[in-house]
Amino acid sequence: MAYENILVETNGRVGIITLNRPKALNALNAALIGELARALDMFEADAGIGCIVLAGSERAFAAGADIKEMQHLGFPATYKDDFITSWERLSRCRKPVVAAVAGYALGGGCELAMMCDVILAAENARFGQPEIQLGIMPGAGGSQRLARAVGKAKAMEMCLTGRNLSAEEADRYGLVSRVVPLAGLMSEAMKVADTIAGLSLPAVMMTKESVNRAFETTLAEGIRFERRLFQALFATADQKEGMAAFVEKRSPSFRNS
């Protein structure tokens, strides 16, 4: 099926989704979010894909939810239709997603980036939750994920004033994995994604699940959860292959089983 608001391609075992509404700085309208969900469904079902890269343009990862689309909404429709539900598809993706963020990642754009697992930021990236300036507030997890990522004081300042973070600040505060030159953003994101996609998919998926559990449970429960997954991986052929390859001083050849 054709896409109108995103570009979808593959490179080896990496699926690449590029947000593509350049005239609106990749403002996230319902059509785009629907297409994103469809592309994620496809990559998740594809055994040939081990990791996904989500990117925007050099000017904007995404400048937020589409304000023109939301402008005339009332509470009943916002509540009944609950359009944010479809945004959650990204946070439910079981395969790792690397966000390649250049330019603006504002409002829903910042929230989308925070739903990803690794965020690489170009030097020109700007992260912010400016919703307060529109008389609203973050609605796709921003107040929660930002507070967990950068702590209460910084999250409060960002959400209450709308101040953006530079890439350097975002790096210092732990919001992003690292900052890279704009020209090298996609190649770095592909390097990370290729590395992940070359590993054992069951181990990768369980690792993602385990790290995410850290944000949803107590330390003792999280550690129990991690241990069970760790033990489960000893039932995979890839564990045998990975350890045999180490002992035999060769590269492993994982079968994702």
Looking at the annotation, which residues are catalytic? 65, 108, 111, 131
Binding mask 126-165 toward ligand HXC (x if CB under 6 A, else -) reads: ----xx--x----xx-------------------------
Told to check if 254 binds ligand HXC by CB under 6 A, we report no
> Stretches 3-11, 24-32, 176-184, 202-210: which one binds ligand HXC (CB under 6 A)?
24-32
Choosing from 25, 54, 114, 116, the residue that interacts with ligand HXC (CB under 6 A) is 25
Query: Site for ligand HXC (CB under 6 A): which residue of 67, 147, 205, 233?
Result: 67
Phi and psi of 126, rounded to 5°? -135, 125
- Considering only 15, 50, 56, 107, the residue that binds ligand HXC (CB under 6 A) is 107
Structure-token pair, residue 214: 């850290």
Beta bridge partners, 178, equal 120
Query: If binding is defined by CB under 6 A, does position 114 make contact with ligand HXC?
Result: no
C-alpha distance from residue 248 to each of 62, 198, 216 (Å): 47, 19, 39
181-to-100, 121, 128, 167 alpha-carbon distances in Å: 12, 8, 20, 11
Cβ neighbourhood burial of 3 (10 Å; 0-12, 13-18, 19+): middle
Check the CA dihedral 76-137-166-145 and report its sign: negative
Taking CB under 6 A as the rule, does residue 15 contact ligand HXC? no
Q: How far is CA 113 from CA 98, 99, 126, 191, in A?
A: 9, 6, 12, 18
Q: Return the closest-CA partner of residue 53 out of 183, 174, 185.
A: 185
Please tell me whether residue 68 binds ligand HXC under the rule CB under 6 A: yes
Q: What totals of helices (H) and strands (E) does the chain contain, helices first?
A: 11, 10
Stretch that binds ligand HXC, among 23-31, 43-51, 150-158, 223-231 (CB under 6 A): 23-31
Name the residue nearer to ligand HXC (CB basis): 66 or 188.
66
Q: What share of the chain is helix, strand, coil (3-state, %, to 5)?
A: 55, 15, 30
Q: Which stretch binds ligand HXC (CB under 6 A): 66-74, 205-213, 218-226, 240-248?
A: 66-74
Counting contacts by CB under 6 A, is residue 56 touching ligand HXC?
A: no
For the bound state, the minimum distance from the C-beta of residue 187 to ligand HXC, rounded and expressed in Å, comes to 26
Q: Name the residues that contact ligand HXC, by CB under 6 A.
A: 24-25, 27, 63-68, 84, 87, 104, 106-108, 130-131, 134, 139-140
